[in-house]
Amino acid sequence: MKTFKEFLTENKRIKWDSYPKIGWWEDNNPIILYHGTYKDNLKSVLENGLNRVDPDTGMISLTLDPNTAFGYASMGGGEAEFRKIGNKPKHIPEKDRVVFKFSIPKSWFNKHYDETLSGNLSTEKKRLTDKSEYEKWISKDTDNDQGYYALSEFRFRKPIPAKFIVGYMSKI
């Protein structure tokens, strides 16, 4: 007989979605976000949600783009730990990365996200705050808006509950 953890893990695996159609993110409810991590964290996140904050910011980061989340998952120990290590970072191989997909109600999102959009470069901040920039982008490439949101992130001051997890996916 399978344990509850085994059942939970097997039933939350979803198909990889490389190019989701996002639309203007602020118009969405719920807001779909992604978080990449090491596969050894899989069971813990499924059971407890995202509750390990970045030690430098005190926040948890998610992104609108699954490919960006997959890239962030390459940083062993998270981004803050990755930076501290200097020239000897731990790199997580693609086969050992998972990306969680979250469906977060807009009311919860608005209450807990960092409105300053810290962690984003000025280009990404502008893309997240100026709908006209999105409209210009999408008029050039109507089939793919995922690239518009690449490298952007949202930070949350509160752990992300497991009840918001849609599932997890892996490229391999």
**DSSP code string of 95-159:** GGEEEEEEEE-HHHHHHHB-TT-TTS-HHHHHHHH-HHHHHHHHHH-TT--HHHHTT--EEESS-
Q: What does the mean pLDDT of the chain come to?
A: 87
Return the half-sphere exposure (C-beta side, CA atoms, 13 A cut-off) of residue 158: 10
155, 57 Cβ separation under 8 angstroms: yes
What value does the mean pLDDT take over residues 59-70? 94
Cα→Cα distances 13→18, 66, 83, 149, Å: 15, 14, 30, 24
Cβ distance 62 to 34 under 8 Å?
Answer: yes
pTM of this structure: 0.87
Residue 41 has pLDDT above 70, yes or no: yes
Q: 131-161: buried (b, 16+ CB within 10 Å) or exposed (e) per residue?
A: eeebeebbeeeeeebbebbebbbbbbeeebe
pLDDT digits (tens, 9 = 90+) for 81-116: 444 545 555 678 889 999 999 999 999 999 999 999
Please tell me what DSSP assigns to residue 60. E
Average pLDDT over residues 136-151: 83
- Provide the token pair at 65: 């783009």
